[in-house]
């Protein structure tokens, strides 16, 4: 999901200590994987705050350690296993500490975790976080606790997330859970269950609350945001059985997006992830109509070969994807577009790989998130196909894709040089304490001198120079969005 589909290679993010409210127990929570996991950890922290836990960033002090896990590729699971070893070492010093596994790995491995990893006391799947208080009682009574039931209607819409580890400027708001797409390589439909949408009123309340707290940007999150459909609750696939009134008053993603944009006209609105098969022109028109909806779309394609797309059970051809790109560019000429790509899916030939590279040349993506195919147990590809592309071929093709993406990113950043762009300041630049780092609406990173500005400010910045991924500029003045 999202431009920031956070790669498992990066370090898991430990959530910072939040203001204590008289709670005495300490929770250490780490998140790996996609933004949905980071967002879910905020829900977990909220549920546990009611149980007397405040978060801590010191593992050694924790009464409870939770790791929110990712199963998307084997490497992601290996990273979590390493962390479990670390917790094990700490638990030896602090035997009272309890350890729980949350999220996709919990769902995939279920109680096997308790057997395999003796250190784990608690296994909780993505739809079972409201059961945490009961599960903790079990654990505190000396019993192992597991709840990996998937739900048909849980969206956590009624829980106000505790914002953790963020910059106070940008926040995630989840709008759908699960995925019904069954791409043959993907474990998500098995670990996160069927797709369901969250009540729009609860989404808007959360966005308004963030606005009041001074947040300047929100990202609406879902595995497949364009397929958002609210008709009164329940699974997306059950919509056909909804009452006539529910069907007539249903709300789709374009309508939700407009509702959110109108509710907070000074906030930047982003969304992730878009699936090409579900993206409609209505969404593009909503983006064109509202200045505060950022012109940026994360539009994973996975492969440029129609044959491979079919094997992946993606519901579009190479040509249909290209037509969608043309439509995006005709309605939103300055829209940033990014991709997810997989190298070495079973049966991928050199010609299929060349098709991927030529599709990339056609789109010239602004950014990309690129991966070698990793066979996931239980998926259709694992059951029906042989993982037959040798590791070194996958690696070489991935490298080709990365090199091509770098060239396209460099081309895209160059187009900004000499222009003036609106930047929302997020944080200090990693490379210089004298500079701020922020993003354009197209999601390109901009760095510039701090001057009198602060994180959360919207600043017009003249772009003087660029690297392949970053724009370097001079701030001119606060933007209209700030002063309106
Ligand atoms: N819902 C999003 C993707 C979720 S997973 C969508 O519509 O595409 C994020 C990315 O991980 C995917 O886009 C895909 O590129 C990658 N991915 C998923 N399963 C994978 C696997 N088995 N091997 C390698 N990459 C995978
Ligand atoms: Fe996975 Fe495809 Fe859904 S990549 S998350 S099954 S859209």
φ/ψ (deg, to 5) at 342: -120, 130
Q: Is 179 in the pocket of ligand 2 (CB under 6 A)?
A: yes
Long-range contacts of 374-379 (CB under 8 A, 24+ apart): 374/72, 374/73, 374/74, 374/75, 375/74, 376/71, 376/72, 376/73, 376/74, 376/185, 376/186, 376/187, 377/108, 378/108, 378/187, 378/190, 379/184, 379/185, 379/186, 379/187, 379/190
186 CA: nearest ligand 2 atom: 1
Which protein residue's CA is at the shortest distance from atom 7 of ligand 2?
Answer: 181
pLDDT at 18: 46
Distance of CA 183 from the midpoint of ligand 2 (Å): 5
pTM tops 0.85, yes or no = yes
CA pair distance 283, 261, nearest whole angstrom: 12
φ/ψ (deg, to 5) at 429: -65, 140
Distance of CA 375 from the midpoint of ligand 1 (Å): 11
Torsion sign over Cα 133, 137, 140, 142: negative
Q: Is 224 in the pocket of ligand 2 (CB under 6 A)?
A: yes
CA pair distance 132, 374, nearest whole angstrom: 32
Give me the CATH code for the 170-414 domain, please: 3.80.30.20
Mutate to test the pocket of ligand 2, among 189, 369, 373 (most ligand atoms within 8 A of CB): 189
pLDDT at 481: 66
Distance of CA 79 from the midpoint of ligand 1 (Å): 17
Tokens of 474: 């001079």
List, chain by chain if needed, residues with CB within 6 Å of any ligand 1 atom.
1, 5, 72-73, 185-186, 188, 223-224, 273, 275, 300, 302, 340, 342, 371, 373-374, 376
Cβ(347)–Cβ(308) below 8 Å: yes
Q: Which ligand is nearest to the CA of 385?
A: 1
Write out residues in the chain with pLDDT < 70, as ranges.
Answer: 1-21, 117, 480-484
pLDDT at 2: 39
* Domain 420-483 class in CATH: mainly beta
Residue among 170, 178, 228 nearest 199 (CA):
228
Cβ(217)–Cβ(482) below 8 Å: no
Cβ(393)–Cβ(344) below 8 Å: yes
pLDDT at 8: 35
SS3 of the chain: the string is: CCCCCCCCCCCCEECCCCCCCCCCEEEEEEECCCHHHHHHHHHHHHHHHCCCEEECCCHHHCCEEEEEECCCCHHHHHHHHHHHHHHHHHHHHCCCCEEEEEEHHHHHHCCHHHHHCCCCCEEECCCCHHHHHHHHHHHHCCCCEEECCCCCCCCCCCCCCCCCCCCCCEEEEECEECCCCCCCCCCHHHHHCCCEECCHHHHHHHHHHHHHCCCCEEEEECCCHHHCEECCCCEHHHHHHCCHHHHHCCEEHHHHHHHHHHHCCCCEEEEECCCCCCCCHHHHHHHHHCCCECCEEECCCECCCHHHHHHCCCCCCHHHHHHHHHHHHHHCCCCEEEEEEEECCCCCCHHHHHHHHHHHHHHCCCEEEEEECCCCCCCHHHHHCCCCCCHHHHHHHHHHHHHHHHHHHHHHHHCCCCCEEEEEEEEECCCCCCEEEEECCCCCEEEEECCCCCCCCEEEEEEEEECCCEEEEEEEEECHHHHC
Cβ(80)–Cβ(67) below 8 Å: yes
Distance of CA 19 from the midpoint of ligand 2 (Å): 37
302 CA: nearest ligand 2 atom: 4
pLDDT at 65: 97
CA pair distance 172, 218, nearest whole angstrom: 6
Residue among 153, 200, 161, 160 nearest 177 (CA):
153
189 CA: nearest ligand 2 atom: 6
Q: Is 5 in the pocket of ligand 2 (CB under 6 A)?
A: no
Domains 4-147 and 170-414 share a fold: no
| CATH of range 4-147; options 3.40.50.10330, 3.90.1170.50, 3.90.105.10, 3.40.50.12160 | 3.40.50.12160
pLDDT at 116: 76
Mutate to test the pocket of ligand 2, among 108, 185, 223, 228 (most ligand atoms within 8 A of CB): 223
Q: Which ligand is nearest to the CA of 341?
A: 1
Distance of CA 371 from the midpoint of ligand 1 (Å): 8
Mutate to test the pocket of ligand 2, among 224, 227, 339, 374 (most ligand atoms within 8 A of CB): 224
Tokens of 108: 């995939």
Distance of CA 387 from the midpoint of ligand 1 (Å): 16
Distance of CA 133 from the midpoint of ligand 2 (Å): 31
Distance of CA 301 from the midpoint of ligand 1 (Å): 10
Which protein residue's CA is at the shortest distance from atom 1 of ligand 1?
Answer: 223
Q: Which ligand is nearest to the CA of 183?
A: 2
Give domain limits for the chain: 4-147, 170-414, 420-483
Mutate to test the pocket of ligand 2, among 1, 70, 174, 181 (most ligand atoms within 8 A of CB): 181
Distance of CA 302 from the midpoint of ligand 1 (Å): 8
């Amino acid at each position: 999901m999202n431009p920031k589909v956070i790669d498992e290679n990066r370090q898991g993010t430990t959530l910072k200590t939040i203001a204590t409210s008289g709670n005495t127990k300490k929770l250490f929570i780490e998140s790996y994987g996609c933004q949905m996991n980071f967002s879910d950890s905020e829900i977990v922290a909220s549920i546990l705050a009611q149980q007397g836990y405040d978060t801590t960033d010191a593992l050694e002090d924790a009464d409870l350690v939770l790791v929110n896990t990712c199963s998307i590729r084997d490497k992601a699971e290996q990273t979590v296993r390493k962390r479990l070893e670390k917790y094990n070492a700490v638990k030896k010093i602090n035997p009272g500490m309890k350890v729980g596994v949350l999220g996709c790995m919990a769902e995939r491995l279920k109680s096997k975790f308790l057997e395999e990893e003796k250190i784990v006391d608690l296994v909780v799947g993505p739809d079972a976080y409201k059961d945490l208080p009961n599960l903790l009682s079990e654990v505190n009574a000396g019993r192992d606790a597991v709840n990996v039931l998937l739900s048909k209607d849980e969206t956590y819409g009624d829980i106000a997330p505790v914002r953790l580890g963020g910059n106070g400027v940008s926040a995630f708001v989840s709008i759908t859970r699960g995925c019904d797409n069954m791409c043959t390589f993907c474990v998500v439909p098995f670990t996160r269950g069927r797709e369901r949408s969250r009540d729009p009123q609860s989404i808007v309340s959360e966005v308004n609350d963030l606005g009041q707290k001074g947040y300047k940007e929100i990202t609406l999150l879902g595995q497949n945001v364009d397929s958002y459909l609210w008709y009164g609750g329940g699974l997306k696939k059950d919509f056909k059985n909804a009452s006539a009134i529910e069907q007539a008053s249903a709300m789709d993603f374009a309508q939700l997006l407009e509702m959110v944009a109108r509710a907070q006209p000074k906030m930047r609105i982003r969304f992730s992830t878009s699936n090409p098969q579900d993206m409609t022109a209505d969404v593009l028109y909503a983006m064109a109509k509202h200045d505060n909806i950022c012109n940026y779309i994360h539009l994973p394609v996975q492969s440029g070969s129609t044959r491979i797309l079919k094997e992946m059970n993606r519901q579009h051809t190479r040509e249909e994807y290209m037509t969608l790109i043309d439509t995006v560019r005709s309605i939103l000429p300055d829209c940033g577009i990014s991709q997810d790509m997989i190298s070495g899916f079973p049966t991928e030939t050199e010609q299929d790989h060349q098709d991927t590279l030529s599709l990339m040349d056609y789109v010239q993506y602004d950014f990309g998130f690129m991966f070698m195919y990793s066979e996931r147990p239980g998926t259709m590809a694992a059951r029906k196909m042989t993982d037959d592309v040798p590791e070194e071929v996958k690696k070489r093709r991935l490298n080709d894709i990365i090199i091509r993406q770098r060239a396209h990113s460099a081309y895209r950043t160059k187009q900004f040089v000499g222009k003036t762009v609106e930047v929302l300041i997020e944080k200090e630049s990693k490379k210089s304490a004298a500079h701020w780092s922020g993003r354009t609406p197209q999601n390109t990173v901009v760095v510039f001198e701090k001057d009198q500005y602060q994180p959360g400010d919207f600043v017009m910045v003249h772009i003087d120079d660029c690297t392949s991924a970053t724009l370097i500029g001079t701030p001119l003045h606060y933007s209209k969005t700030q002063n309106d």
